[in-house]
Each structure stands twice: as C-alpha cells, then as structure tokens.
Amino acid sequence: MAKQYDVLFRLLLLGDSGVGKTCLLCRFTDNEFHPSHISTIALPRFWSWSLLEKRLPVFIRCISLLFAWKTEGTVQYIFLQRVDFKMKTLLIDGIKVRIQIWDTAGQERYQTITKQYYRRAQGIFLVYDITSERSFQHIMKWASDVDEYAPDKVQKILVGNKSDEVDKRQVATEQGLKLAKAYGMDFFETSAFTNHNITETFTRLAEQVLAANKKDLDLLRMTMNDEINLAALEEEEGLCDGAAGDQGKACWC
Ligand SMILES: Nc1nc2c(ncn2[C@@H]2O[C@H](COP(=O)(O)OP(=O)(O)OP(=O)(O)O)[C@@H](O)[C@H]2O)c(=O)[nH]1
C-alpha cells in the first residue's frame, strides 16, 4: 500500500481573539467560511475533545456544563466551538508533507494552556487582523512568547487577515511588511472570507518547515512504527481519514 505521507509537521495558529484563526483553518482544510465568531476554548494539551467525548461521555458533559457556567455561555455554545486540529497533505518537492494544524484560543484567560502547545510546534502562524491596530501591536507579545516557549528551530510567518475589509483597514500593508522584516519572517495578507492567499500562506510555512528540517528528513520520514503510532492515535481520537485522506480530523467548526 502506498504511503500516505513522508513527513508529519505540526503547525500552530496564534493571535488575538477574533483575528480569524479558526476561519483561516476551516478555509484551508474544508474551503468553508463561518461568519459568526464563536471563541475557541482551550483544553490542556494532554486532553482532546474527541478523546474525552469518546471515552468519557458523562465526564465531558460535566466539563462542558462547568465551562458553560464559567463562560456565561450555554451548553450549545460549548459544543459548537471545540477545535483541536485539522490535517492536510501537501506535495512539496516530491515529498508528501502531512501538516497537522492546531487552532488555539486567542483569549487571554487561555494563554497558560495555549503555551503548552508551543513546545511541539515546528511552524507558527502569527495572525493579526488588518482592521485592528491592537491585534497588530499584540504580535510583539505573541512573538516573544514564541521565543520563550517554542523550540529554537521553529519557523514563523506573519499573517494579516481580513484583507477584504478594505474600508475598515487600520494596519497598512507596509506596517506588516516592516514588522515581518524586523522579525525575519515572511508576510502574507489573507482573507478567509474571499480565500485570498490562504493556500499560499499555509504552503509557504510548510515549505519553510520542510527546508529547516531537511537534514533530519530521514529521521522524520514515516517509519513502520510511526505508521502504527499514528493509526493508534487516530483510532484513539475517533478520527477517520475519509476517502481523500486530506480533511480535518478533530475539528468542529
Ligand atoms: N471579513 C472577514 N471576516 C473574517 C475573516 N476571517 C474571520 N472573520 C470573522 O472574524 C470573526 C472571528 O473569527 P474566528 O476565526 O472565530 O477568530 P479566532 O481568531 O479563531 O478567535 P478565537 O477563537 O476567539 O481566538 C468571525 O466573525 C469571522 O467570521 C476574513 O478574512 N474576513
């Protein structure tokens, strides 16, 4: 049977609440756009919504009720916004690169939990909203957190989302370019709404991660063991590859 992929990389979406991280992810993997903003909730890294739901159905309901109460939301609110990660396979230089893209919660109150995800990331999207000067200012804070908690070799890319909102723009393209240059990052303005630059942005970061890990490629290449481990993980999390083998695994948008 042909191998489904050669290497697996973990990418992370970071940025303030509401900049469009979940929408970028859903657009890239499912070509969908969700107009309403339902904030992502973070769970500690060793948990997984799907695992909890499958293995501990009563427990997950209790947790959900607790979260609903804590966030002054409703039970439905909790059940709608669980996002863990989505997967997609790209072909780069003849190499099948499987990327596992983790969504994170932008809200301040989840930052302790979110930081638990940095350590295992090989690539990070630092996302701001071009209609929010504040979200742009906060990129410096996100970048310094990445420097502190992510591996030294982690690749970063700056993303100015909502480029379709021309009339509400607060951050000029030149400001984004300047900041990206200062941090030595590539820069893209995107729109999850119009699908502008989405594939380009995700592919670019995957290419950078691949280039940074070229030396270790043989180690990273999927071995028989990795195949078994991944299959076990996916089975554990109740995930199913689907016919194309390309779609999201543990994402409910
Ligand atoms: N016009 C426009 N709206 C967008 C775009 N991307 C996201 N939005 C809207 O922005 C809001 C927030 O999007 P989300 O993807 O939920 O934001 P998030 O960064 O995941 O937010 P948290 O989960 O709270 O961290 C939603 O109302 C989206 O519909 C875009 O490219 N253009």
Q: Is 42 in the pocket of ligand 1 (CB under 6 A)?
A: no
Please determine, for residue 63, whether its predicted confidence score (pLDDT) is greater than 80: no
pLDDT of residue 158: 98
Convert the pLDDT of each residue in 118-157 to its tens digit.
Answer: 888 999 999 999 999 999 999 999 999 999 999 999 999 9
pTM of this prediction?
A: 0.77
Please determine, for residue 162, whether its predicted confidence score (pLDDT) is greater than 90: yes
Q: Does ipTM surpass 0.85 in this model?
A: yes
The string of DSSP letters for 61-123 reads HHHHHHHHHHTT--HHHHHH--EEEEEEEEEETTEEEEEEEE----SGGGHHHHGGGGGG-SE
pLDDT of residue 215: 74
pLDDT of residue 43: 52
Ligand 1 atom index nearest CA of 26: 15
pLDDT of residue 105: 74
Report CA(206)–ligand 1 centroid distance (Å): 22
Report CA(212)–ligand 1 centroid distance (Å): 30
Report CA(32)–ligand 1 centroid distance (Å): 12
Share of the chain above pLDDT 90, in %: 49
